[in-house]
């Protein structure tokens, strides 16, 4: 099963087109709920079991400090001078091995990928 993605508003359109051309199930915040607050975007990713892809580091605070529910994975792409297509190539590479991504908050840069386990929610 291929991961489903929710890309935040600041995700480049050329990369979004590449993902869709590769038959990735990707929903774009800019198309479905523009200007939605981060809490709403996070809730949407959780409700739809999508990996959240963002350039916004605030999701770490929402998940770890405010303890809001986390989606299956969060991929925080560091602001670097990427060509607009590069994020798609990065994501396609990460999607090739979902077990290394699921359950983690990833900080992705050209030089490294740092992984931090997402909090486990106990329902009760």
State the chain's mean pLDDT as an integer: 93
The answer to whether the CB of 25 falls within 8 A of the CB of 19 is: no
What dihedral angle (degrees, nearest 10) is formed by the CA atoms of 65, 100, 85, 58?
Answer: 0
The answer to whether the CB of 86 falls within 8 A of the CB of 15 is: yes
What dihedral angle (degrees, nearest 10) is formed by the CA atoms of 63, 33, 78, 105?
Answer: 30
Q: Using one digit for the tens of pLDDT, what is the confidence trace for 25-82?
A: 999 999 999 999 999 999 999 999 999 999 998 999 999 999 999 999 999 999 777 7
For the cut 80, the answer to whether the pLDDT of residue 107 exceeds it is yes
**pLDDT value at position 122?**
58
For the cut 50, the answer to whether the pLDDT of residue 124 exceeds it is no
Q: What is the mean pLDDT of residues 109-115?
A: 91
Global pTM value: 0.94
Sign of CA dihedral 81, 26, 29, 40: negative
**pLDDT value at position 43?**
97
More confident residue, 35 or 124: 35
Please report the DSSP string for 26-81 in residue order. Answer: EEEHHHHSTT--HHHHHHHHHHTT-EEEES-THHHIIIIIS-----S-EEEE----
- 45 Cα distance to chain centroid: 9
Domains of the chain: 5-117 (3.40.50)
CA distance 38 to 105: 16
């Amino acid at each position: 099963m291929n991961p489903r993605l929710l890309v935040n508003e600041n995700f480049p359109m050329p990369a979004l087109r590449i993902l869709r051309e590769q038959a990735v199930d990707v929903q774009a915040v800019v198309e479905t709920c523009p200007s939605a607050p981060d809490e709403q975007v996070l809730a949407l990713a959780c409700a739809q079991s999508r990996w959240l892809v963002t350039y916004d580091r605030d999701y770490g605070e929402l998940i770890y400090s405010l303890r809001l529910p986390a989606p299956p994975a969060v991929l925080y792409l560091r602001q670097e001078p990427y060509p607009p297509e590069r994020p798609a190539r990065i994501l396609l590479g990460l999607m090739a091995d979902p077990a290394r991504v699921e359950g983690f908050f990833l900080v992705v840069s050209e030089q490294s990928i740092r992984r931090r386990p997402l909090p486990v929610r106990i329902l009760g």
